[in-house]
Structure 1
Amino acid sequence: MNQTSTAVTSSVSSSVATASPWASVARDSRVGVICASWHTDVVHQARDALVAELGQQGMPTGHIAHFDVPGAFEIPLLAKRLAQSGRFDAIIGCALVVNGGIYRHEFVSSAVIDGLMRVQLDTDVPVLSAVLTPRDFHEHADHLEFFRAHFVKKGVEVAQSCLAAIAQLQRVEGLLAEQAA
């Protein structure tokens, strides 16, 4: 996501003042947002930023459905159900996975990201991740403030990537339909 988002961000920055490059995509699409309930003070920064960015790009508020799950580990199953419903053009998962000392956060983050990729490939619905796994996270004021701000940035990036992915899939579907005709 980061590499694509960087390119998307630079192209959007110059054109936001005029018109959203994804206005028609945003207006007609529906997105499901799944948030883990751990560290909501940080995770909801991404959620709120992505909702604001989708709105700024033209997506009606009613086209964004919000879901909460106990933790990051539960995001892929709900993403699968939402994708299979046919009601969403994309799914976004948001979580902060930290090393809690009981088990390695690498296991959880790997399972979540692998699960999200599997859902995407199995359902043909873009599934994007704002599931971040900092190597060192400590619940003190400096880290909390840093990660709150970082999650705002990641929320904007994932929203832009979401619209770009939907637009690209629509373009491919159009090209395939032309070739079939």
Structure 2
Amino acid sequence: MATHLKNLSDFNAAELPSAKGMRFALVVSSWNDKITGALADGAREALLAAGCSAEDIERVDVPGSYELPLGARWMADQQRYDAILCLGCVIQGETRHFDFICDAVANGLMDLNLEYGLPFIFGVLTPNTLEQAIDRAGGKHGNKGVEAATTAIRMVALKRSINK
């Protein structure tokens, strides 16, 4: 999807299910903390705006994006959350390190989704530059944290509707 003219965080709040009574964990990478902090703030604000109470949102930090799957697994093992939002930022560098980290995180989180039957939301930016990261962490292209929160709410609501 081309993002050069689109704010990716635009959504119709009236179409979003209520998050009242839902519990969320935010697992946030400390690496690129100005970016990931903005993602976490956006996610938290979106969850609160959708009706989630502050007491039903818990944040833990992990050193980097590579550690997101394990941190998320530890949160899932607490059996207190309806969804776990994994927020990070891996900026393309000059080596293949970027490819290995992004692949490991994406596959790790997908495996957790299937193993636990719980939404583990991929809120990891994978930009080419710091400028692109800023644009997607509250800049001109919105905030990926907001997108992660709205996805989490929708997935929890879907699961609840299926399990009625």
Report the counterpart of residue 130 of structure 1 in structure 2: 123
Contact 1:30 1:63 in 2 (8 A): yes
Q: Secondary structure at the match of 1:125?
A: coil
Contact 1:42/1:151, CA 8 A, preserved across alignment: no
Identity %, equivalent residues: 26
**Corresponding position: 1:146 with 2:135:** yes
For 2:99 and 2:85, the matched residues in 1 are separated by 20
Q: What is the TM-score when the length of structure 2 is the normalising length?
A: 0.85
Partner Cα separation in structure 1 for residue 134 and residue 149 of structure 2: 22
If you compute each CA radius of gyration, which structure gives the higher value, 1 or 2?
Answer: 1
Partners of 2:62 and 2:31 lie apart in 1 by: 9
Do residues 71 (structure 1) and 61 (structure 2) align? no
Unpaired segments ≥5 residues, structure 2? 1-6
Partner amino acid for 1:157? E
Aligned residue for 2:143, secondary structure, equals helix
Equivalent residue number for residue 37 of structure 1: 30
Moved more, 147-156 or 35-44: 147-156
Between the two proteins, the alignment pairs up a number of residues equal to 156
- Alpha-carbon distance, 1:172 to partner: 0.8
The question of whether the paired residues in 1 share the 8 Å contact of 2:25 and 2:57 is answered with: yes
Runs of 4+ deviating beyond 3 Å: 100-103, 142-145
**For residues 89-126 of structure 1, what are the alpha-carbon distances to aligned partners after superposition, in whole Å with 9 as ceiling and x for unaligned?**
10001111023445430110110011001111101111
**When you count helix as a share of all residues, which structure comes out higher?**
1
- Residues 34 and 67 in structure 1, CA contact (< 8 A), matched pair in contact too: yes
**Distance in 1 (alpha carbons) for counterparts of 2:141 and 2:31:** 14
Deviation at 1:133, TM superposition (A): 0.7
Q: Alignment RMSD, CA only? A: 2.3
Structure 1, residues 41-100: CA drift from partner, whole Å, max 9, x if none?
A: 111111101100100000001111001100000000111121122111100011110234
Partner residue, 1:105: 98
Q: CA deviation at 1:22?
A: 2.0
Q: Greater shift after overlay, 74-83 or 150-159?
A: 150-159
For structure 1, the residue ranges without an aligned partner over 5 or more in a row are: 1-5, 175-181
The AA in structure 1 aligned to 2:102 is S
